[in-house]
Structure 1
Amino acid sequence: MYDTLNDPRVKDLYQNKANKFDLYFGEYFMNSHELGLAHKLKVPIILSLPAQPFDFVGSLIGNPRELSYVPTVNVAVEQGKWMSFSQRLQNFCMSWLLRIFMIKQHMGNKKKYELLYGHDSDLPKYEDLTKNISLIFFNSHSLSEGPVRPNLPGIIEIGGIQVKDQPDPLPDNIANFLDNSKHGAILFSLGSNVRSSHLSQKVVTSMFRVLSGLKQNVIWKWDQIENIPGNSSNIMFSKWLPQDDILAHPNIKLFITHAGKGGIIESQYHGKPMLALPVFADQPHNAAVMVNFGFGLSLEMIKFEETLFKDRLNEILENPKYTQSVENFSRLYRDRPLTARETVLYWTEYVLRHHGAKHLQSPIVHMSFIEANNLDIFALFLSVLVIIIMFLLFVIRLLFILFKDSLVNEKEKQK
């Protein structure tokens, strides 16, 4: 992104005085230097993050860090329960590790910002870039996903934003395949990052052997159509799939997924149980959360075994508790005053209507570290306490001296 911001065509956006902008709308993930463009354009900022309000992002607009009951990265808590001591310890340590990591990221971002805009005295210091943020959209929905957390007005949750309010018609071949699945169907997709070449031949052969033996039909996303794992009447291979629209089909009984956040959200929205095959990044955590909610089972790809794969598939397909759990969640997830898309439109227009909506901002954004943490008040209390202690010590010492002198005088009188 640094090279993009340095491109003459991007610079022309603010150098050309004829250009007029009302808002900067960008995705945020450890890229604070990019906010300099918004200050160049002299517009308010709306950010988006494809995740929940993690403390290190929510803190940009002053969202409180409640580490005792709000999990951060890689801490999965069962729905309706609270963190155990070990989980709270893990949560606390992870939060502080992320803060240290973010300090390093900010050092790199600050260098980029100064290289891009350091010559412009009209721009704020790097540390003040985030003070122009109006609100942040998060791809989450705490009311259904939990846990309940204290979110500021500038935290807007739009979980499921990628899900269409009404699914599009499926391509004829897929529609016919699903419509004719009298025993139901399974969608199998490992996303766009995990390609067929990343899987060993042994794993692929095992997957095909299990899936081809099912009575359900299977739609399998496979990027090498010229080299499919095998032929079976119940399996359709496709290089590209309209995942959201397929999951909306009533005959889909199971989603085999790599546990990417987007896919899990779509499956939850449509009330489909899952078998997760996580590979890397946030996938193991997403899978653990999904399992804790009772929406399915997980089998790490690195531990893949044909027997385990078959057993867990059959468990989900034959035990209705997984479908019931995710369907109950789906009803709660959809129960909102506005859809996710309507929410984005409303709040974006709200910021525009109110010229940045500064009233949404927490005062803490504009306070120094000392003020925000009441360190000056603690310093005052400590000073007063020290003065009181010193005064008491002085009084005690004075009394001791007076008492000592009186004893000496009394002894002299007795002589």
Structure 2
Amino acid sequence: MVSLVLLNSHFTDFIIRPHVPAVVEVGGIHIKQKSDPLPELVLSKQFFWKWNDAEKPGNASNIFYESWLPQDNLMADPNVKLFITHAGKGSVTESQYHGVPMVAIPFASDQISNAAAVVGDGFGVQLDQKTMTAEELRAAVLEVLENPKFIKKVKSFSTLYRDRPMHAKDTAVFWLEYVLRHKGAYHMQSPNVHLNAFQYLSLDVIGFLVLVIFLVYKSITIPTKFIYRKVFAKKQPKIKAN
């Protein structure tokens, strides 16, 4: 029997869910409470690119290639102005938490719906990775950088997303320890877990309503048919036999 469910979501995502107490939202749990400082950048305009292959796609002096990057730490730096992302859930959450607008280029699965949400919420723009051109990418980057509506929207959301009584990690720890202290904390569960299928589906209520509807139908149709026969049957002309 499930005692606790931790959801990687938060009500500020504009999706309100009627949770029972045993379901706790801990969206942003992977984000550090205090980000590690980054080394001072040599250039004022630096582009960080996560690239796994040994052969680089270019050799620009202001592009820093690395197979792994401390993304959360990077996003927390106030000098970061834009995030080009595949729109994975974790990446989008980090961008929203730190208030960084996005150019979303989804590839598969939940990335597609995440990217659509980025556009719908006004946090950035989306490109199609199968058809986009260099010119379209450049235009998208400039649009997000130069149009203040994107940074305004995501910064406003960041303020809401961060405004909690405690960090998501602390929330998760508290409720996990709470469940342990109270031997499973079954008092937090929905009463539905103790119902059988007949009760859970309210088949008794449905059966009662069907019976009431049937009785009302009969109470109307039977007298109507009786009156019809009494009134209109007498008016029918009798046919005389030859």
Q: Would the TM-score normalized by the shorter structure come out above 0.5? A: yes
Write out per-residue CA displacement over residues 49-106 of structure 1, whole angstroms, 9 at most, x where no aligned residue. Answer: xxxxxxxxxxxxxxxxxxxxxxxxxxxxxxxxxxxxxxxxxxxxxxxxxxxxxxxxxx
Asked if residue 150 in structure 1 is aligned to residue 14 in structure 2, the reply is: no
- CA shift for structure 1 position 396: 6.5
Larger Rg: 2
1:133 partner letter: V
Partners of 1:156 and 1:296 in 2: how far apart? 29
- CA shift for structure 1 position 386: 2.8
2:27 partner letter: G
User: Structure 1 pair 160/390, CA: closer, same or farther in 2 (3 Å)?
Assistant: same
- Given candidates 56, 61, 73, the residue that maps to 1:233 is 61
Counterpart in 1 of 2:46? 217
Partners of 2:224 and 2:57 in 1: how far apart? 89
User: Structure 1 pair 308/386, CA: closer, same or farther in 2 (3 Å)?
Assistant: same
Taking structure 2 as the reference length, the TM-score comes to 0.87
- CA shift for structure 1 position 381: 2.6
Q: Are 1:259 and 1:276, in contact at CA under 8 Å, matched by a contact in 2?
A: yes
Q: Are 1:253 and 1:272, in contact at CA under 8 Å, matched by a contact in 2?
A: yes
2:105 partner letter: L
1:222 partner letter: W
- Given candidates 145, 157, 176, the residue that maps to 2:40 is 176
1:140 partner letter: S
**% identical aligned pairs:** 42
- CA shift for structure 1 position 168: 2.1
Asked if residue 320 in structure 1 is aligned to residue 156 in structure 2, the reply is: no
Counterpart in 1 of 2:194? 366
- Given candidates 10, 20, 26, the residue that maps to 1:141 is 10
2:31 partner letter: V
SS where residue 137 of structure 1 aligns?
Answer: strand
User: Structure 1 pair 388/327, CA: closer, same or farther in 2 (3 Å)?
Assistant: closer
User: Structure 1 pair 263/400, CA: closer, same or farther in 2 (3 Å)?
Assistant: closer
Partners of 2:79 and 2:221 in 1: how far apart? 82
Partners of 2:219 and 2:149 in 1: how far apart? 70
1:160 partner letter: G
CA RMSD of aligned residues (A): 2.2
- CA shift for structure 1 position 397: 7.1
Partners of 1:267 and 1:311 in 2: how far apart? 20
Matches within 5 A, 1:41-52: none
Please, which runs of 5 or more residues in structure 2 have no aligned partner? 235-242
Q: Are 1:284 and 1:300, in contact at CA under 8 Å, matched by a contact in 2?
A: no
1:223 partner letter: N
Q: Are 1:370 and 1:376, in contact at CA under 8 Å, matched by a contact in 2?
A: yes
Q: Are 1:181 and 1:251, in contact at CA under 8 Å, matched by a contact in 2?
A: no
- CA shift for structure 1 position 394: 5.9
Partners of 1:238 and 1:309 in 2: how far apart? 21
Partners of 1:134 and 1:372 in 2: how far apart? 19
Counterpart in 1 of 2:184? 356
- CA shift for structure 1 position 358: 0.8
- CA shift for structure 1 position 312: 0.6
Write out per-residue CA displacement over residues 365-414 of structure 1, whole angstroms, 9 at most, x where no aligned residue. Answer: 2323432232211212322443454466666777889x69xx9xxxxxxx
2:51 partner letter: W
Partners of 1:392 and 1:320 in 2: how far apart? 66
The structure carrying a bigger helix percent of its residues is 1
Counterpart in 2 of 1:287? 115
Partners of 1:255 and 1:392 in 2: how far apart? 68
Partners of 1:304 and 1:351 in 2: how far apart? 50
Taking structure 1 as the reference length, the TM-score comes to 0.52
Asked if residue 164 in structure 1 is aligned to residue 32 in structure 2, the reply is: yes
Please identify, of 157-166 and 368-377, the stretch whose mean Cα deviation from structure 2 is larger: 368-377
Q: Are 1:244 and 1:266, in contact at CA under 8 Å, matched by a contact in 2?
A: yes
Counterpart in 2 of 1:94? none
- CA shift for structure 1 position 354: 1.1
User: Structure 1 pair 393/217, CA: closer, same or farther in 2 (3 Å)?
Assistant: closer
Partners of 1:298 and 1:218 in 2: how far apart? 19
SS where residue 211 of structure 2 aligns?
Answer: helix
